[in-house]
Amino acid sequence: MDLTHYPYPSRRHVVLGRRGAVATSQPLAALAGMEMLLKGGSAVDAAIAMAACLTVVEPTSNGIGGDLFAQVWDGKLHGLNASGKSPLALTPERVPEGGMPERGWLPVTVPGAVSGWRALHERWGRLPFAEVLAPAIRYAEEGFPVGPETARAWQRAEGVYLPLKGPEFRPFQEVFFPGGRAPRAGEVWHSPLHARTLREIAESYGESLYRGPLAEAIAGFSEATGGLLTREDLAAHSPEWVEPLAYTYRGLTVHELPPNGQGLAALLALALLEGFDLRPEDPLSYHLQIEAMRLALADAFRHVADPRFLELPPQALLAADYVAERRKLIGERALPQVLPGLRPEGTVYLAAADGEVMVSLIQSNYQGFGSGILIPGTGIALQNRGLGFSLEAGHPNRVGPGKRPYHTIIPGFLTREGRPLGPFGVMGGFMQPQGHVQVVLALAQGLNPQAALDRPRWQVVPGRGGDEVLLEPGIPQATAHFLKDLGHRVRYEVEYGFFGRGQVILREKGALVAASDPRAEGLALGW
């Protein structure tokens, strides 16, 4: 790994530290994480502080009412699934003929992020929980200048959330669109309701959201405005510790969480690519990666579901015989369409490390702000994660009561020969496993973390008449023509938000090497 080599246009260099490092998509949140490390907190304290801050300073991508997944290394790798289940009253018959609506109560599932903060803090927290949440409370109470990328996302959301009609949407519109519009870049936005809610969460150690006053407020508003979420649904929630899945590609062992997340798709794509000689920037390499990813996602959409409803164990898809058979489908021409419809998403990813612990954490409200429902008198904007369910009869991920839906958010972790390298992730809906694969390939080819994040990306998405391949403008036109000649429907996309926003922290020769994606306004810090 050459820390001085940056082959792609970049505004950034790696950031180095010895005692600790943090990286996330918003500078104020990164500073909160570093504040915890400087106070003697653990990497988990830093990660929770950043996560809580992001619900305030980047509400366009996550919130208190979202879900969370994490991987933590403390000498051994631990996986945490803090995603919530659907209400017990949600049956297939409740979904209208036109499909699950994107906003409103129907796609709302139990918010799991706060339970994830508590579960992580109980095992690895060194500082008091209230102290860890203090920066987020401060930003909410005193206000902060809205960052440029967050402001762009907020402004785009005007056309989605302001037209929504009904009493269930008014509290959300009043809090996030004061004066009937989104705050502009540099304007100071504050939310006393977020501060009050986060303080209640800090004082109750998260209990209030599931079995206390906040739970009562959620259930009461649900009942008053036609929702299905009840006190019983909230009280029954608990996060689960899970065993990560792993696949070793060219000496790098990639760890992903098992279903109901889609990390399996990244591992399967890497397994398929193991049979090919991929050369950096070779047009044929792009074709092979795209085809492997399409096959992997097709399998993920067919099989990933709440683990209680799986038809086969995830390891079956990584079995050598199965991978070899699937690899035979990759030929000299693009395969027919293999992906179902995809939706644009909003998510935040963060990484933190100290001398002993390393954390890979991701949380999301799903589609940007989520459902458009905010509980009156609180800062709790609820997710619309129920959109991840299938409506197909007999599908393991079919919508139903008390189920965890297919989840897009996936935190990654890398090891080599049993030694920890560190956390990595790329947020962005169904771009996430595609981003994981592209970053891992770049690291395996010797790029440093910042260069690996800088490298122009592609994404497979559906389009009329077949799947499309979106390319960032940095990918040469000759490559685009080559892919088109092989049957791919290729289009350049100038909106870099389509290609995800990543963070990486790796341990290299005694140093922590941190990097933050130039597609966001984020920040990596080392100490």
Phi first, then psi: what are they for 450, rounded to 5°? Answer: -70, -45
Residue type, 218: I
SS3 per-residue string spanning 395-454: CCCECCCCCCCCECCCCEEEEECCEEEEEEEEECCCHHHHHHHHHHHHHHCCCCHHHHHH
Helix or strand run (H / E) with residue 252:
strand 252-256
Classify burial at 459, counting beta carbons within 10 Å of its beta carbon; exposed 0-12, middle 13-18, buried 19 or more: buried
Contact 277, 285 (CB under 8 A): no
Phi first, then psi: what are they for 20, rounded to 5°? Answer: -175, 160
CA torsion sign, 70 to 72 to 77 to 80?
A: negative
- In Å, how far are 64, 380, 505 from 375, measured between CA atoms? 11, 6, 36
Distance CA 203, CA 118 (A): 12
Contact 411, 71 (CB under 8 A): yes
Q: How many residues does the chain have?
A: 527
| Residue 284, phi-psi category: left (phi > 0), alpha (psi -120 to 50), beta (remainder) | alpha
Contact 512, 490 (CB under 8 A): no
CB atoms near residue 107 (< 10 Å): 27
Exactly one of 150, 197, 347, 408 is catalytic; name it: 347
Active site residue 347: yes
Contact 161, 181 (CB under 8 A): no
Catalytic residues: 347
